Structure 1
């Protein structure tokens, strides 16, 4: 069995995570030439090409080594945590490049996830949160780029475990004046096509699915604007750009204050969320899982 050089593995990860050799060199505080030499040595040891240069991405063999690298990071994070029992001042020595990554949908980041992760971060965990659509975060886990993800998919990957988190409720909202002037106060089959809906990005099917479910129209096309931020969607709606379907958690206070109105009263879409992570024995991973599941149970339906 090959024993791969940890520095060479971190070099491979830096190239992929930073998107190039120059930025990898900056992150690792070495020359670009040294980055190339470490990669060449690692490919020679592995006996295969690990990176495709254009576009820059890991080969299947490279993805396996990237997953191995991130598992090593988790082991080092566990060791760092355990060493604090013997030497409290030894904590927080993990290098910045040894980040522990998770993939989370933007709506969860904007509502309940950050408070859940406060304690692990306060203890020095070098966390990286990767944002993606809730239907696509599992791909990051499948490719070994993260150790866990929050997703709508309920099928566990091989070598991973899955925990139900609860359901996020979505409501359709608009600014009061906009809702009255453009919709007569509420969404109907006759007026939905007259207003723009502010979606997160082109992967976001929530706007169309909500309107279709609410109005009983199986096939419809919406006029959409795209704002790739959950909080940004809300600000756009407050500014009168259009209507939007957003997490009720995110706009609860604005609805109570009358700054936004529900344009589909009595109707909400519930989206079930799940936490998937590597099925490894790790106190750090267990701590992350426990923090997320407890926070989700308090915040979600």
Structure 2
């Protein structure tokens, strides 16, 4: 196995982050020529092309494998610096992928103690947002070190821990219901009223309609609002029916600005925490106070999820 140049691995990570040689050079505070030379040296040592020089550039399959390795080296360096009491540079970061609804509800409170401690330790935390069905792709491609995902099976070299279920309910403003649904939501009108959708990956509204009316792939009128907070606000303003986490809707329901439709119908989304294992399987467990930064992030999310999410019986 090659002893890879850490500077070259940092260049590969910066290229993945920046999407261009110019941006990678800015991130690393070196010249674009130096970025090219380090990447070329890494590709030569491996005998494989790692980056496709396109706009934006993209990693080859071998490049994605090396990016995973580079991310793990970054995290291990952060752990080492923490244990030695050293301060890292501001470019040191631990990227994780989460879904927008989790970020808007339970993730920030869960991570707050870790982030506050991170100010002293000197590493950065990067939260990357994607749909819960797609965050796992970021982990597989090496772009992040951990993710909150609906995927239950661990990748090779990763650990997985169940977090709990995020429950989604359908809500609308009283004014919307009075104007658009005077007879209530039913089989005769659900396809004529607007439904609020986060983005084109979001199918929560279709899943809810499928459960409520026993349908598959319903054709719905959709209004796209690609912001979690704006999504709730749009429902309160009467833009349409929103299918959202019960935690998010709770204060608006309590204030009478939203009302639940078919409260007995809901969608439970099971979430899991995945992270790369940065220690050998046979290595002794470190003392709790010296656990790695990625381990501390994962443990904070697991504990926060236990407080915030539903825990369903097996099966």
Q: What TM-score do the two structures reach when normalised by structure 1?
A: 0.93
Rounded Cα–Cα distance in structure 1 between residues aligned with 2:93 and 2:71: 8
CA contact (8 A) 2:95 2:144 kept: yes
Shift of 1:185: 6.7
Shift of 1:36: 1.7
Deviations 1:94-151 (A, max 9, x none): 2233211111111100100011111222122311111111111111111122111111
Matches within 5 A, 1:27-176: 27-54=27-54, 56-84=57-85, 90=86, 93-124=87-118, 125-176=123-174
CA contact (8 A) 2:94 2:294 kept: no
CA contact (8 A) 2:49 2:60 kept: yes
Shift of 1:265: 2.4
Rounded Cα–Cα distance in structure 1 between residues aligned with 2:237 and 2:90: 39
CA contact (8 A) 2:72 2:276 kept: no
Match of 1:251 among 227, 249, 252: 249
Shift of 1:64: 1.6
CA contact (8 A) 1:197 1:244 kept: yes
Matches within 5 A, 1:204-243: 204-243=202-241
CA contact (8 A) 1:185 1:263 kept: no
Q: What TM-score do the two structures reach when normalised by structure 2?
A: 0.89
3-state DSSP of counterpart to 1:194: coil
Q: Name the counterpart of 1:285.
A: 294
Rounded Cα–Cα distance in structure 2 between residues aligned with 1:210 and 1:258: 22
Structure 1 unmatched ranges of 5 or more = 85-89
CA contact (8 A) 2:79 2:292 kept: yes
Rounded Cα–Cα distance in structure 2 between residues aligned with 1:28 and 1:131: 24
Shift of 1:179: 1.5
Deviations 1:21-44 (A, max 9, x none): 111111111222222222222222
Rounded Cα–Cα distance in structure 1 between residues aligned with 2:275 and 2:263: 37
Rounded Cα–Cα distance in structure 1 between residues aligned with 2:264 and 2:251: 18
Rounded Cα–Cα distance in structure 2 between residues aligned with 1:186 and 1:46: 64
Rounded Cα–Cα distance in structure 1 between residues aligned with 2:185 and 2:24: 50
Rounded Cα–Cα distance in structure 2 between residues aligned with 1:225 and 1:289: 35
Rounded Cα–Cα distance in structure 2 between residues aligned with 1:26 and 1:39: 15
Rounded Cα–Cα distance in structure 2 between residues aligned with 1:189 and 1:94: 59
Rounded Cα–Cα distance in structure 2 between residues aligned with 1:121 and 1:73: 17
CA RMSD between the two structures: 1.5
Deviations 1:149-189 (A, max 9, x none): 11111112122111111100101111210111101274211
Farther-moved stretch of structure 1 (35-44 vs 248-257): 35-44
CA contact (8 A) 2:211 2:265 kept: no
